[in-house]
Structure 1
Amino acid sequence: MEALIQQALPTIHLFFGPDPDWKQVFLSILTPLFLLGTAVEYLYLKKVGRSFFFRKQEVMTNMLLGGTYQAMEVVWYALFVSVFMEWLYSFRVATIEVTPLNFLGLLFGIEFCYYWFHRASHRIRWFWCAHVVHHSGENMTTTTAMRQSLFYAVNLHQIFWAPMLIIGFPVWAVLLAYGVNLGYQYFVHTQAVDKLPRWFEFVFNTPSHHRVHHGRNAEYIDKNYGGVLIIWDRLFGTFEPEVAAVDYGIVRQPTTNNIWTLNTHEWRDMFSDALKPGPLWQRIKHIWAPPEWVRPGLADQSNLRDKPTPAATAKA
């Protein structure tokens, strides 16, 4: 497998530079397939009278968020991420050759790491500040997969891939495996697919499972964290089947399509909460506690997103 990569390197370097982010390389190569998938999804939904899910303004916002996210990823990889991940790799206990079979094992390992990264992105406010952008869409189409934060690049989420680096997989392979994981997830952001065969639904993340993940219904919040597989959710008690109609968005929904506001509102709220008077240890707890955590004696916090309001529950 490494031999095939070596053969492709001159072309990759021509378009992506001498030290490419292989996650971005893979996703860029897949972009025509992503756009084709979105076109097919739209035409199908239009045929069955459900193209109203493609709200023009939201689709444009999703694409703008995706474009700025990609640009920041490229810049921050060059400035920091490459060095940081190579530093983590320097602590490896072995050096693993990337054969097709080993890469399959890496994909499985990355999926396990992704489950915990995704779970932390909901249960630790620092990581939620970036992830909230993805959940702020009030619809579900494949373009929702593009709805990503500028600040994923800078919130140090790369630490979740450290186990694979320390085991001995090289940085390029870890990033490529992560890109494969994200590439699969593009296609689970859709309402054009109902339920897949039961065996597939039992093992893999599917559009039905991921619709649940994007719901702000009380029973759906913080469920179905899997990227490619759903087995970790079943094992760790975070699985929820799609039964009730999904109410998309977040509980305290921003009413804007301004991409800067969408990227920054939760950071602003978190630091605002942390700067309010009180014991230092409670103030800094706003950074690592769950997003809905309420500091004792501080009742006016701005983002209790995991506590559904009566209106949100009724809408669901």
Structure 2
Amino acid sequence: MEQLINQAMPTFNLLFGPNPDWKQVFLTLLTPLFLGATLVEYLHLKKVGKSFFFKKNEVVTNMLLGGSYQAMELVWFALFVSAFMEWIYTFRIATIEVTPLSFAALLFGIEFCYYWFHRGSHRVRWFWCAHVVHHSGENMTTTTAMRQSLFYAVNLHQIFWAPMLIIGFPVWAVLLAYGMNLGYQYFVHTQAVDKFPKWFEFIFNTPSHHRVHHGRNDEYIDKNYGGVLIIWDRLFGTFEPEVAPVEYGIVRQPKTNNIWTLNTHEWRDMFSDALKPGPMLQRLKHIWAPPEWVRPDLMDQSNLRDKIN
């Protein structure tokens, strides 16, 4: 076994580097499982006459977005993220040995951090600028999980994992736990599964819960932020059950499959809003306010235009 590992290390280091992003390593290694699950999903939906959920252009776009996201994550980790997270780790209050029990605790902690990262990605426009890519798909299949932004790598969302680093979990373990959390989520992006038993639906994030999260129906917007668990949504008042049929996509839907436009349109709009004349604090607020926030002076101008027209 040791000989096999030694033989494999040069290839591993070539692909991921000597100090890899274990999140991306884990997700890359799971890629065959992801693709196999997508094939099973497609064959099942075809059998029941619902393969129309797979829109060819959108599936291709999802895969291109996923591939570019993976490449950008690997490059930016090597250039910046690794050093940034290691720097945060220097402020740890303890040094925790990674054992099966402590890693289970880390998985639970990462899920709690993920809830707030995900909620922040909807309620703070800076983070929404990256996350919006994931929500811009107008269908739901497992390939939707691949629909990710180039700019996750550079928007400093790593601060949401800082509590686990400061507690004392090493960087590699935090990244691996985060990767496992994301790996689970691949399988909740589907319409091929209705609902699981009530006890499971009560505790875990499921396809039903996550379909709600991807809805642009008024009652579904900004609900069900959990990654693996749904308990935080129940505790913090962001849970919504799936009742009405889900309308997928975002309120201001970009009608394009151009991956550059999908990655940049919300950044362009945010900076455009911030550059419009007005009090500096109000202009800067576009960065941290919710995505739907409109500056009072711009709202007055918008209302005046509506009256004139």
Q: TM-score normalised to the size of structure 2? A: 0.94
CA contact (8 A) 1:273 1:301 kept: no
Return the letter of the residue paired with 1:156.
L
CA contact (8 A) 2:140 2:189 kept: yes
CA contact (8 A) 1:122 1:222 kept: yes
Partner of 1:246: 246
* Structure 1 residue 13, shift from structure 2 partner: 3.0
Equivalent runs, 1:167-316 vs 2, <5 Å: 167-299=167-299
Q: Deviations 1:56-107 (Å, cap 9, x if unpaired)? A: 0000000000000001000100000000000000000000000011000000
Find out whether 1:44 has 2:44 as its counterpart.
yes
Stretch deviating more after TM superposition (292-301 or 218-227): 292-301
Partner of 1:150: 150
Helix, strand or coil at the partner of 2:58: helix
Q: Following the alignment from structure 1 to structure 2, what is the Cα–Cα distance between the partners of residues 33 and 138?
A: 24
Helix, strand or coil at the partner of 1:299: helix
Helix, strand or coil at the partner of 1:138: coil
Equivalent runs, 1:70-219 vs 2, <5 Å: 70-219=70-219
Q: Following the alignment from structure 1 to structure 2, what is the Cα–Cα distance between the partners of residues 196 and 260?
A: 37
Return the letter of the residue paired with 1:153.
A
* Structure 1 residue 16, shift from structure 2 partner: 1.6
Stretch deviating more after TM superposition (94-103 or 14-23): 14-23
Q: TM-score normalised to the size of structure 1? A: 0.92
Equivalent runs, 1:55-70 vs 2, <5 Å: 55-70=55-70
Return the letter of the residue paired with 1:288.
W
Structure 2 stretches lacking a partner, 5+ long: 303-309
Call closer, same or farther: CA 1:238–1:107 in 2, change over 3 Å: same
CA contact (8 A) 2:16 2:74 kept: no
Q: Deviations 1:191-249 (Å, cap 9, x if unpaired)? A: 00000010000000000000000000000000000000000000000000000000000
Return the letter of the residue paired with 1:18.
P
Helix, strand or coil at the partner of 1:27: helix
* Structure 1 residue 17, shift from structure 2 partner: 1.5
* Structure 1 residue 254, shift from structure 2 partner: 0.3
Partner of 2:307: none
- Alignment RMSD (CA, Å): 1.7
* Structure 1 residue 257, shift from structure 2 partner: 0.4
Return the letter of the residue paired with 1:255.
K
Partner of 2:54: 54
Structure 1 stretches lacking a partner, 5+ long: 303-316
Q: Following the alignment from structure 2 to structure 1, what is the Cα–Cα distance between the partners of residues 202 and 8?
A: 37
